[in-house]
Amino acid sequence: MNEKQVHKFVQRYLEATQCQVLEKSPCHFTVKLSPDADRELTNRPYYWSFVDRTNAAPETMTYLLVTDREKYDAAQAGTLPAQQRLPGGAVGTADIVAGAAGNAGAAAFPGAASSVRPDAGIGPANTIASPTVHGDTAGLASTSTAPASSGPAAGPAESADSSASTAAADTGQAAAADAALGRSLGFVHGNINQTGLRIPREEMYFGSRKLDQLFGAAKSKGSYVFLFQEPERGAASPYSSTPYTAWLGINMRVEFACDRKREEIHSYGISLATGHCTEQFHDRLQRLRLTPRLPANIHLAKNGLSFNKALSIMEQALERKLKSYDYEWAGAATERLEEELERIRLYYEPLIEHAADDELKQNVREQYEQRQSEIRWQYEPRVTASAINCGIFHLEGIE
């Protein structure tokens, strides 16, 4: 699977499990898992047992799922400095606020911050507000208070007024920074790292642990389905009813195994009304729109076959197909099996014959039998058919 296929599969899984996608791009998802997805993917059995026992509201985890690592890292490096990116790849709100406030400059927020020296005399006559902007920083303009050469010391009332002014200035700075963030970077979702905590980052590529978890969850939840064909919009008359036929669809895995292995996937569909069996049924379903809800203005045809009868029809069709195959590989595998059995026979029979006592002879004989069973398991040719998944599909028409 390439990056686009992985991205599409992850998106389909998130939509199917009703996860809350907080942010997405062609190369990543920032997602808050639904309770069902959290149970499947986070391996927190003790937490969920606590939730089940206490009926507490579950707090699900938020993940950063990166489906194309190179594009995502390049986008992050091109938009934000490295020191503003958290280890998980998420961006801290505090860092964004600081950077946006710094880039705003003194002209946008005059007097937004003030610095007061502790040893400065404060008085009505000698308080001079002078906006200063340092050339080597892009911070907010700061208002500095010049030291007084003479004047009375600050009284308690004046100190209280100064503290209130400083608090008001800090509040104004925060509001100005939020405004700068809104103008510069747009809306930031309140659930995305609002507290500055690291969002776990997972690399989603074929063979990764988290993608394997998604495959396993999709396989376990999608083993059996019950779907209806969605009719075309405007095609059906509200005064007529369209007949639908139930089909048993089965995807079979056929494994040809010896010391080598080959697998094939066969998809069969059996009409439960007529018993008609068709191959490549999955390809037919790919061209249809399916829904778990019963559409309007349809009626279901009566089934003429049981599930067991339909299954036997499928097994007979698959058996006829497999009988037409060439099995020269099985003959070659049998020859290799005989060679291996002869080789271990020549090794173990002298050991058994010259064993010092009966106990040692019994141990060698057991080891010989175990080795024979291992060789047969490895080299003996066999064909195994197993069901991957199946479902009942109600399709338009009677076949």
Rounded to 5°, the CA angle 74-80-82 comes to 80
SS3 191: coil
Q: Are residues 238 and 334 in the same domain?
A: yes
Residue 188 is assigned to a structural domain of this protein: no
Q: Are residues 231 and 340 in the same domain?
A: yes
Q: Are residues 324 and 208 in the same domain?
A: no
How many domains are contained in the chain?
3
- 10 Å CB burial of residue 261 (0-12, 13-18, 19+) is exposed
Q: Are residues 137 and 81 in the same domain?
A: no
Give per-residue burial for 356-373: e unless 16+ CB within 10 Å, then b.
Answer: eeeeeeeebeeebeebee
With beta carbons less than 8 A apart as the criterion, state whether 381 and 258 touch. Answer: yes
- Nearest partner of 145 among 174, 168, 175, 124, judged by Cα: 124
How far apart, in whole angstroms, are the C-alpha atoms of residue 157 and residue 159?
A: 5
CA quadruple 39, 40, 46, 47: dihedral positive or negative?
A: negative
Percent of the chain with pLDDT over 70: 69
Give per-residue burial for 46-68: e unless 16+ CB within 10 Å, then b.
Answer: ebeeebeeeeeeeebebbbbbbb
Which residues, other chains included, contact 309 with Cβ-Cβ below 8 Å and sequence gap of 6+? Answer: 275
The domain in which residue 55 lies consists of: 3-92+193-217
pLDDT, one tens digit per residue, over 140-182 is: 333 334 444 444 444 444 455 555 556 555 556 665 655 554 4
Q: Are residues 51 and 199 in the same domain?
A: yes
SS3 7: helix
Measured in degrees and rounded to the nearest 5, phi and psi for residue 312 equal -65, -35
The pLDDT of residue 166: 61
Q: Are residues 129 and 269 in the same domain?
A: no
With beta carbons less than 8 A apart as the criterion, state whether 68 and 203 touch. Answer: no
How far apart, in whole angstroms, are the C-alpha atoms of residue 214 and residue 204?
A: 10
Longest CA span, the chain: 116
Q: Are residues 178 and 202 in the same domain?
A: no
Residue 281 is assigned to a structural domain of this protein: yes
Q: Are residues 83 and 109 in the same domain?
A: no
Percent of the chain with pLDDT over 90: 46
pLDDT, one tens digit per residue, over 335-363 is: 999 999 999 999 999 998 888 888 888 99
* Choice between 319 and 152, residue whose per-residue pLDDT is larger: 319
Extract the tokens encoding 185: 């970077």
Q: Does pLDDT of 381 surpass 50?
A: yes
Q: Are residues 256 and 328 in the same domain?
A: yes
- 10 Å CB burial of residue 120 (0-12, 13-18, 19+) is middle
The average pLDDT across 268-277 equals 93
CA quadruple 18, 20, 25, 28: dihedral positive or negative?
A: negative
pLDDT, one tens digit per residue, over 63-122 is: 999 999 898 988 888 754 444 444 444 444 334 334 434 443 333 333 333 333 434 433
Residue 313 is assigned to a structural domain of this protein: yes
Q: Are residues 288 and 384 in the same domain?
A: yes
Residue 211 is assigned to a structural domain of this protein: yes
The pLDDT of residue 356: 82
Residue 324 is assigned to a structural domain of this protein: yes
* Amino acid identity at 79: T
Q: Are residues 170 and 267 in the same domain?
A: no
Q: What secondary structure does DSSP assign to 249-295, as a single string?
A: EEEEEEEEESSSEEEEEEEEEEETTT--EEE-HHHHHHTS-EESSPP
